[in-house]
Each structure stands twice: as structure tokens, then as C-alpha cells.
Chain A
């Protein structure tokens, strides 16, 4: 699930150079869409698809005005979107039950092993699709937009269209990842919009390196492994959180110092 999230974020950020700090908003939207639909009797596979589509729709809305302006603004606008989503979900209580959250989201599979296998297959599909896209002609144009948008324009490329496309695809994947998350923990509330998760995902991306799909996968695995480590070796529960955050910070710092582009990264930000 994290792998999907990181690979999808890497698509827009690493390959097209769009700094989308609001990625979390889309995965939250996906989680809520899927949860609400399945709680109302819609089969999970439809709900998951819908989660992707609704997230991509929001991605499209975000892309329209921001594709004309530069990357830094997109970062700010998209981060704003996280807070907007958070407050919508908190306050639209008739739909989302606000801070109470949505309990009892149906599981997709009966056993957690099956779920793991399913997530793994889904991540593989996303990885494969991203791989195909990145090595395609369209993927190359997205990378050109990242390196130098003006140069891409004078080579006759509609750069705005490519920026929109990249955001829509990446938010679709984020929506799917959100749906997967909802069906895994079976309970969601507005805290899924908290910056904690964003920090985890960004550290995965930085550790793995921008514009590298393998990096995205390894980054996700390394950071996840590290985040579980304190839970195993530290006995005092109150210390787990802070120590975990410190481990992330340390890890990101070490990687940035020794490998500024990340372990597998291909570009500078």
C-alpha cells in the first residue's frame, strides 16, 4: 500500500517535477470514498475503482489552475488541499460522522495473508503500469517537462496537458492506495489527513530517490522496516512515537548527506 503511494507520488513529483505535497489528500479521499461506498453495500472492487476515479477527479480539479503556474505554488495549493479535506471530513458529519470516524469497513479478504498477497499483486500492477508509462514516449515527454518546460514547449509539446495527465494518473493511484488502506484497517477517521503519514511517504521518496521506480519500492520497504523496529525493541510505549520520528529524520539526513539524489535517484530536485 505504501509502495503504491510512493510510486504514484514519484510519478508526478520525480518524473514530471510536480511537487505535490497534497498527495495525502487524494489517498484520504480514496479511503473515504471506498469506505462510504462499501458501508452502503457496494462491492469492494467497484468501491476501489470509484476511489481511484474520485481521487483522480480531485487531481484534475487541482491540475487545471495549477498547471499554468510553477511547481512551488502547486506544492502550497496541494498542501492546502490536505487541510481542506481534513476540515470537510470533520464537518460534513452527516456523511462522514466527523471526528467519530467510520468503523466496520468490510475487509476484502477473510485472512490477512490473503490481503497481503492481494496488496502485493496490486502494488505489482501499479509498478508495472508506472514502469510502462515512464519508458513510453509519453513518459519521456513528462520527464522533459520536469527538466525544462520551456524547451519542451518549443519542441511542440503541450506541457500543460502532460502536467494534468501526470497528476490525474498519480492521484488515481493514490485513491486506490487509500481504498486499500481503508479496507485493511477497517476504521478511518480524519487523522488519516495528519502530516505524520505525509512525512513517512516523503521520507520513503527521498530515501529511495526521485524518478526511480525501484527507489520508490526500496524506500518504502526500508522506511517501513525502520518504523516497525522501535516497536519491537523498545518496551516503553510512550517512547515509540518520538523515537520513530527521530529515526526517520536521521535516515533522511544520512541519505541526503551521502547520496543527495536518494539511493536510486536519477534527478536533483
Chain B
């Protein structure tokens, strides 16, 4: 098991953002986390990466307890991620952005940038890139950082159709390579085509876990989506 989440709970004031969530992420599989807006998906990402502390529950990465560890320690244990709102170092070049993930050669940096279809000179400042290109840079940076689990928070949100298409290709390639990925995504066709397991979240609770076929047929899932 790559990641194991047990009865995790987090309240913001009165809001139960995450309410006794339990699920596992298997190695070499793409797991999608879906659910309506406000379901608690991003909060769960922040909990896993240690940016938000939890009230209850445990999180284990490859059997090591990482519950409430500091974010940089969790990152160094092998969790790499991107954000719903892209976080690149704006006042730094593409190369420096990448070097912060791992001290490595220009060849390796270029190889990864090629794999995400970002073809820009290495000394371009991140602030000069379009939003979609910043997304690609952020994903490249997350890929370069040594990791065993990659988490992507809505990679296709707010990007143009061309980059959206490229992002789908990137994920299909990651699937081919046998990477372990946890993906938050709203585009259902995309989720259906790329994921091995789908976890449906609603109002902070796990509503359904299953493969794509099982999930689309589930009544509760349909209600949660259509009811909103």
C-alpha cells in the first residue's frame, strides 16, 4: 500500500471539511478523488502533505506514520504535489524553479520539461509564462522532485484546450510508466479514461470507492452530483 488514510477528520470552526475519511492508495495505480465543490478534496490534499494538521485519524505512507509531520519532512519522505491555484516561484527562472526540486543537470531538467510539452528557454522567468504554462512548469517541478506518490489538484482547471489536451497526454504517459498518482479532477470523461480507482467525496465523507464502471452506476454518486 502506498498511502493509507484512516478515519481522518478536520473541522474548520463548525464546518466538518473532512469527516472520518478512510481509503487506501495502491502502488502503480492512478486514483482519482472526485466530488462536488467544497467536498473537502483540496483540504484532504493539504492534510496529506502536512500543510493542515488534523483533529483525528492517522495517515501512513508505505507503512510509516506521517500524521501531523511538518510539510517539508513529508515531502522528503516521498510525496510531491501541485496546487489547485498554481504555485510557481514567479521571480525565478524556469531553471531555478526546477533546481529547487532537485539539484541536477540541465539535461535532466530539459528531459522533464519536454515530457510535459513545455518548450521554453530555461532562463525564462516564471512570471513571463501564461497561466497554462505555469501549470506545466509546476507539474514538471513536482515530477523532478524525488517522490513515490504524486498528487495533482485539478491540473486542467483554468487552462486553454490545447494545454488541457497535453495534460491528458501527460497523465496517460504517467499511467503507462506505472506511476502512483492521486488526482483531483472535474472532467469526468478524463477521469474515466485515465483512473484505475475512483474515490467519491461528498461533504467531507467518502461516498463510494470503486473502479470507473462501478462508480458511474452508483445511485448515491449520481444523487450527489445531480442533486447539487
Contact = CB atoms under 8 A, between A and B. Distances in A.
Contacts of A148: 87-90
Given A140-B96, A141-B100, A150-B51, A159 B91 contact: no
B49 A267 contact: no
Contacts, number: 64
Question: A interface, by DSSP: helix, strand, loop or mixed?
Answer: helix
B103 to A, nearest CB: 7
B81 to A, nearest CB: 6
Contacts of B49: 154
Given A153-B51, A156-B75, A144 B100 contact: yes
A157 B72 contact: yes
Nearest to A141: B100
Question: B interface, by DSSP: helix, strand, loop or mixed?
Answer: loop
Nearest to A268: B91
Interface residues of A, number: 21
B88 A154 contact: no
Contact of B83 (A144, A151, A159, A266): A151
A148 B101 CA distance: 14
Interface in A135-189: 137, 140-141, 143-144, 146-148, 150-159
B71 interface: yes
Contact of A154 (B81, B96, B99): B81
Nearest to B151: A154
A151 B91 contact: no
B87 A153 contact: no
Nearest to B97: A144
A222 B45 CA distance: 49
Interface string B187-218: 00000000000000000000000000000000
A211 interface: yes
Contacts of B87: 148, 150-151
Given A148-B89, A150-B51, A156 B83 contact: no
19 contacts: A140-B92, A146-B91, A147-B91, A148-B87, A148-B88, A150-B51, A150-B71, A150-B83, A151-B83, A153-B71, A154-B72, A154-B79, A154-B80, A155-B72, A155-B145, A156-B72, A156-B75, A156-B145, A211-B91
Interface of A: 137, 140-141, 143-144, 146-148, 150-159, 211, 266-267
Interface of B: 49-51, 70-72, 75-76, 79-81, 83, 87-92, 96, 99-101, 103, 141, 145
